[in-house]
């Protein structure tokens, strides 16, 4: 929960590569291959998340480090992963993966306009992205709110000590959250590359991670539905801003919105009780 | 001196002093290392002696780029230029240290202030800019120096503008908002084409025109002075050293004042500070404004030295790099962060163009290009094993001021010098207690009594 930044920034980036990998093998324009690609991305990103948690975060938690330390570790980790893909991965794979340049795009789905809503064309890619995002969000929401593991996660988020006393394994729960974070980031990476085929580059994850962190903060850290709302709001406002002020002001609008919202709701739109409890 | 917290034990079973109040838990690291011994020795010296040692050391530091020490100089690039860059980053690290290290506010958009400082000077003095004032009310030769206070004023103002709405936020929220601010500044510089030149940047920024000779028609600070040992980089390095010393004195005095104590209180526990009557918002704003103005000076130096500003030099990665310098050197320690800045700037340049090191063949350029990888690893490893940085900060007796603190150390030293009762660890336990507690230890009694009192505290439990 603390290493939000690290999760997003580093893992989205990692997620790119495996999905790129699956593209390499990919043959046809089928949902099956998309599914396999997504699974590959999820596996690698989730695995990396758990690995990072083990190597970098667990020692910090053992010592009870302040949250600033976690954030700095997350930034360091995102540097490491970026540069790993930049320099080390091309050596390991003989130059097929990673490096300075973006990966050759592999278009699995050709964008085709399916129908229009109010004059706006909806392509098959848009449909796939929206549907998968909704399914994943629903699944995660169910997992957090309905299952035993989810209850454990919420308990640890609220009060780690009491949760431990009540028989929740804190370490296991934290590992689980990192795994979920990684898996979702891996899935998002595939959806992103569907939309932006040329986006598979070593430095591509950083700004995306920042945006994702913005969305989570906007909605309120620790609130899943808030994060969804924040993401939607950020995306919509960004694009409205782009139309009103021009393309170059897109990111300015996004960050200005963030600052304005946080001025009036310092813990995000929906993240009130939990945010205050841990502030 | 009994405390409510149990006294921690070192692996040898020796009861240490109370855990330091510092944000970084130093309890897993026993006191009395080389650094502590040096600190003890240094603080025990009289003020004139400190000056006597400090000034020649400063002169040595200033002369490093022209002494041409064999292993120390850089092969691939101009050493003077590297040192000038170091001077600027050191200034930034001092400024960021006020915000991050002393007040404990994670600022990921510090590069924004740096950019504002640089752009203010550039807009006022570059011939590309529509607001160029070099022929109006700024003297042509002294335009840079005249623009400097304006740059500092504008950056302080921007610190105030950013700080006043956002400083109610805490932790992660503050970090992301400041990061957003840094990006907004860069994007503004990129998009306001008429004023900032957009992606083209602004060329021909003014610089101090002094030391004009036959060979150097534009003075020693101009980029034309590139040859030889005494090139423009060295001059800029010396100029930034002046600013470093000024800001060190300023920040050092603030640290020992009411403001500094308030910062420490806010850093350790904001709620507790608020309850004890510290106007936290006001002091956080002060930290932001002071940090910002130092960043503005660094930006002005940068604009003058490079004579060219362009938005891509002010992206988020730089913010992270500055933060890296602060964390690496030791948050809260002024000299530590300068060391951190030196490492950040110097190490990549050290490897640049080097083909062998101590007889071992290496590919220096490749190693230099890996720098972000190494910085990332350094950050993570440091956070795990030494979160307090290379030169950690020690909590001083802020409540009593420096004089009493020194007196306590002298008393401790005198006691150990003459003392027979405390033979096991000369000096160290007493010092650890005197330095590890704020206000709780009575400094005048600190010398001989601490050894027993900590043991007492242990036995009562």
CB proximity B166 to A under 8 Å? yes
Mind listing the pLDDT tens digit of every residue in chain B (461 residues)? 343 444 444 444 434 443 444 444 444 444 445 666 777 777 777 778 888 888 888 888 888 777 777 767 777 677 888 888 899 999 999 999 999 888 888 888 899 999 999 999 888 888 777 777 776 666 677 788 888 899 999 999 999 988 888 888 877 788 888 888 888 888 888 888 878 777 787 887 777 777 666 666 666 777 666 666 677 778 888 888 999 999 999 998 888 888 888 998 888 888 888 898 889 889 999 999 999 999 999 999 998 888 888 888 888 888 888 888 888 888 888 888 898 898 888 888 877 766 666 767 767 677 777 778 888 888 888 888 877 777 777 655 454 555 666 677 778 878 777 754 444 444 444 444 444 444 443 444 333 333 333 333 333 33
Tell me if A63 and B166 make a contact (CB, 8 A cut-off).
no
Q: How confident is the model at residue B394, as a pLDDT?
A: 66
Tell me which chain A residue has its CA closest to the CA of residue B180: A255
Q: How confident is the model at residue A167, as a pLDDT?
A: 86
CB proximity B365 to A under 8 Å? no
Contacting B residues, span 53-92, partner chain A, CB-CB under 8 Å: none
CB proximity A71 to B under 8 Å? yes
CB proximity B15 to A under 8 Å? no
Contacting A residues, span 217-236, partner chain B, CB-CB under 8 Å: 217, 221
Tell me if A76 and B378 make a contact (CB, 8 A cut-off).
yes
A140 CA: distance to closest CA in chain B (Å): 23
Predicted-complex ipTM score: 0.76
Judging contacts by C-beta atoms under 8 Å, the chain A residues touching residue B327 are: 72
Tell me if B165 and A263 make a contact (CB, 8 A cut-off).
yes
Judging contacts by C-beta atoms under 8 Å, the chain A residues touching residue B166 are: 259, 262-263
CB proximity B107 to A under 8 Å? no
Tell me which chain B residue has its CA closest to the CA of residue A58: B384
* Per-residue pLDDT reduced to its tens digit, B277-294: 889 889 999 999 999 999
- The beta-carbon neighbor of A266 closest among B168, B378, B379 is B168
Q: How confident is the model at residue B228, as a pLDDT?
A: 67
Tell me which chain A residue has its CA closest to the CA of residue B323: A72
Tell me if B370 and A66 make a contact (CB, 8 A cut-off).
no
Percent of chain B surpassing pLDDT 90: 12
CB proximity B169 to A under 8 Å? yes
Q: Which of B99, B112, B172, B324 is the mutation pick for testing A, counting most A CBs within 10 A?
A: B172
Q: Which fold has domain B71-385?
A: ABC transporter involved in vitamin B12 uptake, BtuC (1.10.3470)
Tell me which chain B residue has its CA closest to the CA of residue A71: B172
CB proximity A77 to B under 8 Å? yes
* Per-residue pLDDT reduced to its tens digit, A113-150: 767 777 777 777 788 888 888 898 889 888 888 888 88
- The beta-carbon neighbor of A83 closest among B173, B183, B370 is B370
Q: How confident is the model at residue B395, as a pLDDT?
A: 59
B48 CA: distance to closest CA in chain A (Å): 39
Q: How confident is the model at residue A103, as a pLDDT?
A: 61
Contacting A residues, span 89-118, partner chain B, CB-CB under 8 Å: none
Q: How confident is the model at residue B359, as a pLDDT?
A: 66
Contacting A residues, span 177-216, partner chain B, CB-CB under 8 Å: 206, 210, 213-214
CB proximity B282 to A under 8 Å? no
Tell me if A56 and B384 make a contact (CB, 8 A cut-off).
yes
How is chain B split into domains, by residue range?
26-45+401-459, 71-385
CB proximity B367 to A under 8 Å? no
Q: How confident is the model at residue B16, as a pLDDT?
A: 40
Which H or E element spans position A149?
helix A148-158
Ranges in chain A, pLDDT < 50: 1-14, 16, 18-29, 274-279
Size of interface A-B (CB pairs under 8 A): 127
């Amino acid at each position: 929960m603390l290493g939000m930044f690290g999760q997003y920034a580093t893992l989205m980036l990692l997620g790119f590569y495996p999905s790129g990998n699956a593209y390499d093998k990919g043959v046809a324009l089928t949902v099956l291959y998309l599914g396999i690609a997504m699974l590959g991305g999820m596996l690698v990103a989730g695995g990396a998340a758990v690995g990072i948690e083990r190597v970098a975060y667990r020692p910090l938690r053992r010592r009870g480090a302040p949250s600033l330390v976690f954030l700095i570790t997350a930034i360091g980790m995102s540097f490491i992963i970026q540069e790993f893909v930049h320099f080390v991965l091309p050596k390991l794979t003989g130059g097929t993966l990673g490096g300075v340049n973006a990966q050759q795009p592999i278009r699995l789905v050709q964008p085709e306009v399916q129908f229009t809503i109010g004059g706006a064309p909806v392509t098959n890619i848009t449909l796939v992205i929206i549907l998968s995002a909704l399914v994943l969000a629903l699944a995660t929401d169910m997992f957090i709110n309905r299952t035993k593991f989810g209850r454990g996660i919420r308990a640890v988020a609220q009060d780690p000590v009491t949760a431990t006393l009540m028989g929740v394994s804190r370490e296991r729960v934290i590992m689980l959250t990192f795994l979920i974070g990684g898996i979702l980031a891996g899935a998002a990476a595939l959806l992103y590359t569907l939309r932006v085929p040329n986006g598979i580059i070593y430095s591509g994850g950083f700004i995306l991670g920042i945006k994702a962190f913005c969305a989570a903060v906007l909605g309120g850290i620790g609130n899943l539905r808030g994060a969804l709302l924040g993401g939607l709001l950020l995306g919509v406002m960004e694009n409205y801003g782009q139309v009103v002020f021009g393309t170059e002001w897109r990111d300015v609008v996004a960050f200005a919105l963030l600052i304005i919202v946080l001025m009036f709701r310092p813990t995000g739109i929906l993240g009130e009780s939990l945010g205050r409890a841990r502030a | 001196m009994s405390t409510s917290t149990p006294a921690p034990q070192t692996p040898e079973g020796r009861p240490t002093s109370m855990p330091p109040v510092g944000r970084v838990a130093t309890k897993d690291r026993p006191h009395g290392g080389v650094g502590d011994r040096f600190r003890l020795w240094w603080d025990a010296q009289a003020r004139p002696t400190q000056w006597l040692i400090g000034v020649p050391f400063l002169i040595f530091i200033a002369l490093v780029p022209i002494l041409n020490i064999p292993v120390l100089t850089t092969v691939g690039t101009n050493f003077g230029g590297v040192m000038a860059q170091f001077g600027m980053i050191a200034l930034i690290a001092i400024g960021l240290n006020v915000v991050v290290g002393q007040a404990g506010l994670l600022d990921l958009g510090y590069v924004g202030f740096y950019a504002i400082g640089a752009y203010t000077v550039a807009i006022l003095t570059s011939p590309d800019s529509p607001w160029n004032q070099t022929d109006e009310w700024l003297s042509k030769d002294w335009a840079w120096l005249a623009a400097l206070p304006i740059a500092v004023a504008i950056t302080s103002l921007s610190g105030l503008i950013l700080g006043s709405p956002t400083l109610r936020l805490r932790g992660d929220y503050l970090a992301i908002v400041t990061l957003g601010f840094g990006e907004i500044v860069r994007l503004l510089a990129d998009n306001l084409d008429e004023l900032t030149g957009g992606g083209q940047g602004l060329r021909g920024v003014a610089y101090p025109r002094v030391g004009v000779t036959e060979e150097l028609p534009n003075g020693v600070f101009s980029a034309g002075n590139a040859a030889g040992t005494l090139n423009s980089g060295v001059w800029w390095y010396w100029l930034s050293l002046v600013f470093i010393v000024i800001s060190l004195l300023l920040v050092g005095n603030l640290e020992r004042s009411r403001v500094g104590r308030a910062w420490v209180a806010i850093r350790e526990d904001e709620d507790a500070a608020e309850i004890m009557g510290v106007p936290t918002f006001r002091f956080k704003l002060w930290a932001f404004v002071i940090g910002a103005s130092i960043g503005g000076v660094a930006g002005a130096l940068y604009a003058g030295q490079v004579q060219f500003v362009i938005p891509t030099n002010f992206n988020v990665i730089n913010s992270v790099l500055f933060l890296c310098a602060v964390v690496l050197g030791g948050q809260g320690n002024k000299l530590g962060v300068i060391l951190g800045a030196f490492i950040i700037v110097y190490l990549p340049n050290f490897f640049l163009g080097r083909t062998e090191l101590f007889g071992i063949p290496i590919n220096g350029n490749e190693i230099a290009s890996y720098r972000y990888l190494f910085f990332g690893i350094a950050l993570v490893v440091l956070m795990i094993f030494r979160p307090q940085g290379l030169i950690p900060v020690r909590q001083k007796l802020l409540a009593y001021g420096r004089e009493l603190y020194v007196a306590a150390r002298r008393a401790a030293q005198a006691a150990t010098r003459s003392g027979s009762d405390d033979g096991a660890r000369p000096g160290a336990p007493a010092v650890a207690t005197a330095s590890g507690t704020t206000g709780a230890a009575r400094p005048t009694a600190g010398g001989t009594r601490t050894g027993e009192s900590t043991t007492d505290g242990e036995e009562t439990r």
